[in-house]
């Protein structure tokens, strides 16, 4: 295909997702345009920004069509070569193509690349295929086909039935069946109107699927919301996006404007007499505002604090009117379900969890990025086949699913099929779909401490168990990682967990103990080592480790001496070096640079 | 009547009006449920969580705050289970750790049989029940105070922590405060506080205890 590309119209798209932009995608695009100008081929080659492939660790990613060539880690300096060889000469620049083995003889297409081949794209159906700022691109890829079908051929009840049949469940984490939620809201009397809300207050550390969906395919969310509004009988919608997502805000705001121009939003949509407006609300970045009642309080201008349920938002939500809140990914799934039918969607996934789920795969993993797989895909497939395995081929230790209030799932459960039920059985949650991979060098007590500290800061402070309980958990974990753990601390953590889980007002508190409970369940020995032996088995907790030089391995190369920021290491060339414990701040810089395993991070034993 | 529901609390059946909370119905039946943020005159917010009870509904048993949970037909409530007791004791322990010197907390802890506190002792004077905030908004109709900050850093303050322009100095916040620690002086400008009046009588300020009257 590429050989003949000389005369064909070609499209070069530079991913304009946040990750690629941060890695220099804008400069790459500018260089491309300049270079194409010099080679006098601008008419034949169209350069677009956008088309996020969600293969984030390879950014900036550049895709050339036809041919589907994907280049990764492209710099402005590589552009001239791509233009000369590929866009003008028709030959793929192999050294820049992505895949497990760079420089493959045959050109890897998406289906040859492990990261892509096992993925099934529904919510992310337009990944890498459309320019997010182009409604025409979206329309050309079956966009806004479901909306006329829903408005003209289906009654609101039919739409709800189709979503019920699909078995779609809330992708924000709750997992409540979307069709049932819509049905309740539809039946709820709303003489003064009803609302639909898109929850884009993505706050889990390491999760970015909502941001990416809004950035790379905003119309899929708008179309889903419009169909949902029709089904429920709402005439106003809100998208609640955090202010930290400037690109998502910009794109979604623009998409709403353009949809209005096309008659796909506003009054008398597609001439059917149906009216629907969408407003964008900027959130101030409070984690708790992802909780639907806190989110609505925030839209109303109140402090973002959750309200007791019942009454549920479907009965009395925003400004007391029936309101339906769904997450970005849930909305993005709606149009394909209407277009292809609930049965098609339900054919994917497991018995109780249908369809696909987007996960953000991060942490100690080779391929970082967003992936979409059918429910029931095992952790092993996700981590090894798609993720390419653990970074530096270290030993896999655990994966944290569902964000800070999810749980840590150990190696023994690597063949766990990922769906709502199985994750819950393992003590974790689906959450919004964050997957943080951890390797053997991770201390599980330290991990629990980190997440609990995050949740302490993000607790709104309204109810006692969450506000006071999480703080006490953090204090206890804090002293354990400092080597000051006491007998009874584990019991205290467990009984705090019961109260926080059972008695908290909202989901933040109800799930907050999960990181502690799962690490206690699967890695109790690490807690015991910290508390009773004052030892950190993973050699992470600084208070519990001491660095020393192993004299007979040290070659006296002085790398560590140069690396030490506090001058704790000294010694003449070719002589074993000395480490002054009094000066050592345990930063580990020496350990990192030593090529001879001569700096041993060893544990202190206290019986 | 269609607005009457049947529920069962601690083994006793009861007809209850739709819209009432579990706590209200239990009270009528003479069942005591401890509370720390509930006040009859205010909208319940379910924040202290001391009033949790076990609720069985539709085959599911959950712990719910009785002050904000409306009764539903067929609901089975148990107010004194092992789990409920365990939770209440932990909650009061947490509050005792936060505010060890507040009388109402010490009293409730005693009632619930909590004598020791395994956590570091705090010095807070406010346990964030929010009665002052609600009273100011709902009863006085002013809304001069609200919650600021998040998590354990939460506090009740006028906007931006500045003396309030809208506070009328009525002292409802101070009067309603179950901890008896709410300090009106942080809300109401002192200047205005002592210029209220105009009558010949002298009043004793409920906050600073000095006497003031007509200027």
* Residues A355-387: tens digit of each pLDDT: 999 999 999 999 988 999 999 999 999 999 999
Which of A501, A532, A563 marks a domain boundary? A532
In a domain, A350, yes or no: no
CA–CA min distance B202, chain A (Å): 40
**Same-domain pairing of A459 and A581:** no
Q: Worst-scoring range by mean pLDDT, A184-188, B92-96, B112-116, B158-162?
A: B158-162
Pair (A435, A450) in one structural domain:
no
Nearest CB among B63, B83, B151 relative to A467 is that of B151
Cβ of A465 within 8 Å of Cβ of B95? The answer is: no
Chain B residues with CB under 8 Å of A288 CB are 150
What is the tens place of the pLDDT at every residue in B46-66?
999 999 999 999 899 999 999
Q: Do B90 and A305 touch (CB under 8 A)?
A: no
Q: Do A308 and B90 make contact, defined as CB atoms within 8 angstroms?
A: no
Are A195 and A256 found together in one domain? yes
Cβ contact, residue pair B151, A459, below 8 Å: yes
CA distance A473 to chain B (A): 10
Task: Report how far residue A462's alpha carbon sits from residue A76's, in angstroms, rounded to the nearest whole number.
Answer: 51
- A488 and B118 in contact by Cβ < 8 A? yes
Are residues B46 and A463, on separate chains, in Cβ contact within 8 Å? yes
Contact A310 B70 (CB under 8 A): yes
User: What is the separation, in whole angstroms, between the first and last Cα of chain A?
Assistant: 69
Last residue of a domain, one of A60, A83, A113: A113
| DSSP 8-state class, residue B13 | E
Please tell me the distance from the alpha carbon of residue A181 to that of residue A167, in angstroms, as a whole number.
12
| β-pair type (B4-9, A569-570) | unpaired
Distance, CA of A164 to CA of A148 (rounded, Å): 20
State the pLDDT confidence band at B199, using cuts at 50, 70 and 90: very low
Task: Specify if A270 maps to a domain.
Answer: yes
Q: Does B152 touch chain A (CB under 8 A)?
A: yes
CA distance A504 to A488: 24
Stronger pLDDT, B16 or A601, i.e. the higher one = B16
Which residues touch A262 (CB under 8 Å, ≥6 apart)? A135, A144
d(CA A217, CA A125): 9
Backbone angles phi, psi at A544, to 5 degrees: -110, 10
Of B46, B87, B118, the CB nearest to A502: B87
Q: Are A22 and A35 in contact (CB under 8 A)?
A: no
Query: pLDDT grade, residue B187 (50/70/90)?
Result: confident
The answer on A87 and A141 residing in a single domain is no
Tokens 């202190």 identify what position?
A: A604
> In chain A, which among 437-476 make CB contacts under 8 A with chain B?
456-465, 467-472, 475
Is the domain of A521 the same as that of A558?
A: no
Tell me which chain A residue has its CA closest to the CA of residue B68. A308
The reply to whether B94 touches chain A by the CB within 8 Å rule is yes
What separation in angstroms does the CA of A139 have from each of A63, A126, A153, A239?
A: 20, 11, 19, 21
Q: Kindly state whether residues A169 and A269 are assigned to the same domain.
A: yes
Give the per-residue pLDDT at B205.
60
Report residue B214's pLDDT band, with 50, 70 and 90 as the boundaries.
very low
- Same domain assignment for residues A161 and A251: yes
- Residue A230 sits in a domain whose CATH number is 3.40.50.11540
pLDDT of residue A601: 62
Do A497 and A557 reside in the same domain of the chain?
A: no
pLDDT of B202: 53
d(CA A489, CA A476): 7
Given the structure tokens 């799934």, which residue do they identify? A333
Return the CATH number at A16.
Answer: 3.40.30.10
**Does a structural domain hold residue A514?**
yes
Among residues A345, A377, A393, which one ends one of the domains?
A: A345
CATH of the domain at A554: 3.30.70.20
A437: β partners: A363, A399
DSSP summary character for residue A450: H
Rounded CA gap, A300 and A143, in Å?
Answer: 32
Q: What pLDDT, on a 0 to 100 scale, did the predictor assign at position A603?
A: 56
**Does A15 share its domain with A108?**
yes
Percent of chain B scoring above 90 in pLDDT: 71
Strand pairing report for A396-401 and A274-283: unpaired
Which CATH number covers residue A385? Answer: 3.10.20.600
Does A469 map to a domain?
yes
More confident residue, A382 or B2: A382
Neighbours of A219 (CB within 10 A): 29
B47 at interface of A, judged by CB pairs closer than 8 A: yes
Residue B52 and residue A310: Cβ atoms within 8 Å? Answer: no
Nearby residues of A241 by Cβ (< 8 Å), 6 or more positions away: A200, A201, A214, A248, A249, A252, A280, A281, A282, A283
Whole-model pTM?
Answer: 0.88
Residues A278, A396, single domain; the answer is no
Residue B30 has pLDDT above 70, yes or no: yes
Q: A434 by DSSP, 3-state: which?
A: strand
The pLDDT of residue A487: 95
Chain B CB contacts of A310 under 8 Å are 69-70
Range of the domain at A470: 444-532
Which helix (H) or strand (E) element contains residue A574? Answer: none
| Per-residue buried b or exposed e for A60-75, using 16+ beta carbons within 10 Å of the residue's own CB | bbbbbbebbbbbbbbe
Give a yes or no: residue A151 inside a domain: yes
Q: What is the pLDDT of residue B200?
A: 47
Chain B contact for A399 (CB, 8 A cutoff): no
Interface test with A, best of B94, B122, B129, B130 (most A CBs within 10 A): B94
Q: Are residues A265 and A217 in the same domain?
A: yes
For A522-558, the pLDDT digits (tens) are 999 999 999 999 999 998 898 998 888 888 888 889 9
Percentages (nearest 5) of helix, strand, coil residues in chain A: 45, 15, 40
State which residues of chain A have pLDDT below 70: 1-8, 42, 50-51, 99-112, 600-607
Query: Residue B54 and residue A396: Cα distance in Å, rounded?
Result: 41
Give the minimum alpha-carbon distance from B197 to chain A in angstroms, rounded to a whole number: 34
Say if residue B6's pLDDT is above 80: yes
What is the total count of domains within chain A? 5
Residues 485-514 of A with CB under 8 A from B: 488, 492, 495-496, 498-499, 502-505
pLDDT bin (cut points 50, 70, 90) of residue B204 is low
Crossing angle of helices A328-340 and A218-232, in 10° steps, is: 70
Percent of residues, chain B, with pLDDT higher than 70:
86
Q: Cβ(A357)–Cβ(A429) under 8 Å?
A: no
CA distance B101 to chain A (A): 17
Residue A17 sits at the chain B interface (C-beta within 8 Å): no
At residue A453's C-alpha, the angle toward residues B149 and A434, to 5°, is 105
Question: From CA A384, how far away is CA A42, in angstroms rounded?
Answer: 41
Gap from A292 CA to chain B (nearest CA, Å)? 16
In 3D space, the residue among A496, A516, A397 whose CA is nearest the CA of residue A447 turns out to be A516
Cβ–Cβ contact B58 with A under 8 A:
no
Residue carrying the six token digits 């179950």: B178
Question: Per-residue DSSP letters for A148-170?
Answer: HIIIII--HHHHHHHHHHHT-B-
CATH number at residue A462: 1.20.1440.230
Token digits of residue B41: 């005159």
> Above 80 in pLDDT, residue B190?
no
A contacts of B146 (beta carbons < 8 Å): 303
Residue of B nearest to A502 (CA): B63
* Minimal C-alpha gap between A475 and chain B (Å): 9
In a domain, A126, yes or no: no
Contact A463 B47 (CB under 8 A): yes
Q: Does residue A120 lie in a domain region?
A: no
Residue B207 sits at the chain A interface (C-beta within 8 Å): no
Name the helix (H) or strand (E) containing A451.
Answer: helix A444-458
**d(C-alpha B27, C-alpha B21), whole Å:** 10
Supply the mean pLDDT for chain B.
Answer: 87
ipTM of the complex: 0.89
Burial category of B212 from C-beta neighbours within 10 Å (exposed 0-12, middle 13-18, buried 19 and up): middle
Q: Using CB atoms, which residue from B49, B119, B147 is nearest to A463?
A: B49
How far does A456 lie from chain B, in Å, by closest CA? 6
Q: Is residue A415 part of a domain?
A: yes
| Continuous segment of H or E residues that includes residue A283 | strand A274-283
Strand A45-50 relative to strand A10-15, pairing: parallel
Is there a contact between B45 and A310 if contact means CB atoms under 8 Å apart?
no
User: Of all helices (H) and strands (E), which one includes residue A591?
Assistant: helix A589-593
Q: In terms of domains, do A89 and A139 share one?
A: no
Question: Rounded to 5 degrees, what are φ and ψ at A118?
Answer: -95, 5
Measured N-to-C along each axis, helices A489-503 and A524-532 cross at an angle, to the nearest 10 degrees, of 130
**Best B152, B155, B179 residue to mutate vs chain A (most A CBs within 10 Å):** B152
């Amino acid at each position: 295909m590429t050989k003949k590309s000389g005369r064909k119209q070609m499209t070069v798209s530079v991913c304009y997702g946040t990750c690629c932009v941060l890695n220099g995608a804008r400069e790459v695009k500018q260089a491309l345009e300049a270079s194409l100008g010099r080679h006098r081929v601008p008419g034949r080659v169209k350069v677009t920004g956008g088309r996020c492939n969600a293969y984030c660790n390879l950014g900036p990613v550049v895709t050339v069509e036809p041919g589907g060539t994907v280049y990764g880690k492209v710099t402005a300096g590589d552009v001239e070569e791509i233009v000369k060889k590929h866009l003008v000469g028709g030959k793929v620049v192999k050294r820049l193509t992505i895949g497990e083995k760079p420089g493959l003889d045959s050109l890897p297409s998406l289906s040859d690349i492990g990261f892509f081949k096992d993925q099934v794209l529904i919510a992310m159906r337009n990944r890498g295929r459309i320019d997010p700022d182009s409604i025409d691109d979206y329309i050309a890829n079956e966009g806004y086909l479901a909306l006329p079908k829903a408005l003209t051929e289906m009654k609101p009840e039919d739409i709800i039935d189709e979503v019920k049949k699909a078995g779609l469940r809330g992708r924000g984490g709750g997992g409540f069946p979307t069709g049932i939620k819509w049905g309740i809201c539809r039946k709820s009397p709303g003489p003064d109107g009803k609302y639909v809300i898109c929850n884009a207050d993505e706050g889990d550390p390491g999760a970015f699927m909502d941001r990416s969906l809004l950035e790379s395919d905003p119309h899929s969310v708008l179309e889903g919301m419009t169909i949902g509004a029709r089904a429920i009988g709402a005439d106003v919608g809100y998208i609640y996006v955090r202010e930290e997502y400037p690109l998502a805000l910009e794109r979604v705001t623009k998409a709403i404007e353009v949809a209005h121009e096309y008659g796909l939003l506003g009054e008398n949509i597609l001439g059917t007499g149906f009216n629907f407006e969408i407003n964008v609300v900027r959130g101030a970045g409070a984690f708790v505002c992802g909780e639907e009642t806190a989110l609505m309080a925030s839209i109303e201008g109140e402090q973002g604090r959750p309200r007791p349920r019942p009454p549920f938002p479907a009965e009395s939500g925003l400004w007391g009117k029936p309101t339906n809140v769904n997450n970005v990914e849930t909305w993005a799934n709606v149009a394909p379900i209407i277009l292809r039918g609930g049965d098609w969607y339900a054919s994917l996934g497991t018995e109780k969890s249908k369809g696909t789920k987007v996960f953000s795969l991060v942490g100690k993993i080779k391929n970082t990025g967003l992936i979409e797989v059918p429910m029931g895909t095992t952790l092993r497939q996700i981590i090894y086949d798609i993720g390419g395995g653990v970074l530096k081929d270290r030993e896999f230790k655990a994966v944290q699913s569902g964000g800070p209030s999810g749980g840590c799932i150990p190696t023994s459960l690597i063949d766990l099929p990922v769906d709502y039920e199985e994750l819950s059985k393992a003590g974790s949650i689906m959450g919004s779909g964050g997957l943080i991979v951890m390797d053997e060098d991770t201390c599980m007590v330290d991990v629990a401490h980190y997440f609990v500290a995050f949740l302490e800061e993000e607790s709104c402070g309204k109810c006692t168990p969450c506000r006071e309980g999480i703080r006490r958990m953090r204090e206890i974990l804090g002293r354990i990682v400092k080597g000051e753990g006491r007998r009874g601390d584990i019991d205290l953590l467990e009984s705090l967990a019961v109260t926080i889980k059972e008695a908290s007002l909202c989901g933040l508190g109800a799930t907050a103990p999960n990181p502690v409970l799962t690490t206690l369940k699967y890695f109790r020995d690490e807690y015991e080592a910290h508390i009773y032996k004052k030892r950190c088995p993973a050699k992470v907790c600084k208070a519990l480790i001491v660095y020393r030089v192993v004299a007979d391995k040290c070659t006296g190369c002085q790398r560590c001496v140069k690396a030490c920021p506090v001058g704790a290491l000294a010694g003449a060339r070719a002589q074993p070096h000395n480490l002054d414990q009094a000066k050592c701040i345990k930063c580990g810089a020496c350990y990192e640079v030593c090529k001879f395993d001569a700096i041993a991070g060893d544990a202190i034993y206290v019986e | 009547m269609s607005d009457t529901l049947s529920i069962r609390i601690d083994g006793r059946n009861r007809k209850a009006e739709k819209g009432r909370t579990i706590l209200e119905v239990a009270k009528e039946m003479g069942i005591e449920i401890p509370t720390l943020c509930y006040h009859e005159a205010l909208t319940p917010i379910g924040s202290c969580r001391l009033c949790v009870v076990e609720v069985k509904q539709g085959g599911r048993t959950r712990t719910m705050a009785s002050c904000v949970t409306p009764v539903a037909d067929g609901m089975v409530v148990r107010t004194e289970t092992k789990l409920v007791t365990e939770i209440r004791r932990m909650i009061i322990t947490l509050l005792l750790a936060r505010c060890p010197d507040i009388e109402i907390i010490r009293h409730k802890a005693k009632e619930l049989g909590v004598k020791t506190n395994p956590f570091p002792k705090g010095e807070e004077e406010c346990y964030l029940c929010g009665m002052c905030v609600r009273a100011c908004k709902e009863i006085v109709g002013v809304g001069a105070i609200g919650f600021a900050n998040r998590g354990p850093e939460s506090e009740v303050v006028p906007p931006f922590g500045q003396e309030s322009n809208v506070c009328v100095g009525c002292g409802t916040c101070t009067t309603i405060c179950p901890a008896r620690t709410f300090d009106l002086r942080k809300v109401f400008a002192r200047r205005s506080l002592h210029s209220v009046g105009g009558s010949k009588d002298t009043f004793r300020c409920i906050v600073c205890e000095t006497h003031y009257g007509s200027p």
